[in-house]
Amino acid sequence: MKAIETKKLTKKFGEKTAVNGIDLSVEEGELFALLGVNGAGKTTTIRMLSCLSAPTSGEAFIKGHSVASGRTEIKRIIGISPQDTAVAEALTVRENLRFIASVYGFDREKTEKRINDMREMFGFDEVLDSRAKTLSGGWKRKLSIAMALIGEPEILFLDEPTLGLDVLARRELWRAIRTLKGTITIVLTTHYMEEAEELSDRIAVMLGGRIAAVGTLAELEEKTGKSGLENAFIAIAEGGRD
C-alpha cells in the first residue's frame, strides 16, 4: 500500500486555483519534498493531505483512507508541524510533549518513554523544563517537530521546517530529520533548494498549483540536462512558463 496517493487533487479558493489536479504517489518510509516558490500550492497540498482543508475536487488517500471519509482514521496516523511553531507558549518543553501524548491517549509509562525518546532525538536535556516562550527559534522548531512525532505517527508532514532559522539551527534540524529517514514517511515542503537536495529521497517541483516534475535529484538533473537542483529547478520553472 502507498503511504500517500492523490488523484487529480484540486483546491480552489473562489476563482483562484491553489492546487490544480495533482497526482502524487509517496512510498512508505520515503522522505518526499514538495519544492516550490511561495504561493506554489505546497502548504495547501499538505493541508488537504492532513485533513485541515477539504479538496474542491479529486481524491487523496493516506494509507488507503480517503481524506473525504476517513478523517478520524487519518488523524490517528499522521503528525503535522505547521509553518508557524504551534506550541503552547506558557508550557515547558516537557509539558508540551506530555500534553500531546495525553491527547493520543498514552498512559503515564508510555508518555514518559516517548518524552525520553524525543529528548534523546532532539537533545532537549538543557531545555526540557524551560517554558516554550523562552526558547530560541531553533528550539521551538525542534519542539514543534517533536510534538508532531510524539504520537507515533506513520506519516509526518513538515511545512517549511527551517523557515526563518539561521544556518546553524537549520543544519542541526536537518540532522534530526535525517535520523528519521526510513523509519517513517515524511512529506516536507520547502523553498530552499539545498534543503530538498540534502534531505529528500524524491522531489516534486510545484509551480502555480501543478506538479511540474517529480523524481530523484538524479532524475530531475537527467530530465533537464542541468547539474544541481537549483539549475534543474530553474530549467523546469522556465520550461513551465513557455
Can you give the binding site for another protein, defined by CB under 8 A?
Answer: 50-54, 72, 75-76, 78-91, 95, 99-100, 102-105, 131, 144, 147-148, 151
How far apart are CB 130 and another protein at their closest, in Å?
Answer: 13
Min separation Cβ 83 and another protein, Å:
7
HSE toward the beta carbon, residue 140, CA cutoff 13 A? 20
| Through-space distance between the first and last CA atoms of the chain, rounded to whole angstroms | 37
Complex with another protein: residue 141 or 202, whichever CB lies closer? 141
What order do you get walking across the sheet with 78-81 strand by strand? 78-81, 155-159, 185-190, 31-35, 202-207, 210-215
Would you say 144 or 190 has its CB closer to another protein?
144
CA distance 165 to 84: 12
Closest CA to 205 of 21, 82, 193: 193
Q: Which three cell numbers stand for residue 51?
A: 485533513
Q: Closest CB to another protein among 43 and 200?
A: 43
**Rounded-to-integer distance, Cα 171 and Cα 174, Å:** 5
**Cβ contact 115:150 at 8 Å:** yes
Residue 125: burial class (beta carbons within 10 Å; 0-12, 13-18, 19+): exposed
CB of 86 to another protein, least distance (A): 4
Report the b/e string of 40-78 with b at 16+ CB within 10 A: bbbbbbbbbbbbebebeebebbbbebebeebeeebbebb
Min CB(143)–another protein separation in Å: 11
Question: Least distance from C-beta 78 to another protein, angstroms?
Answer: 7
- Residue 67 CB, nearest approach to another protein (Å): 11
Q: Is 95 left (phi over 0), alpha (psi -120 to 50) or beta?
A: alpha
CB of 74 to another protein, least distance (A): 9
Of the pair 94, 119, the CB lying nearest another protein is at 94
Three cell numbers, residue 92: 515547558
Q: Which is nearer to another protein, 2 or 75 (CB)?
A: 75
Q: Which is nearer to another protein, 95 or 198 (CB)?
A: 95
Which residue, 99 or 174, is less far from another protein as judged by CB? 99
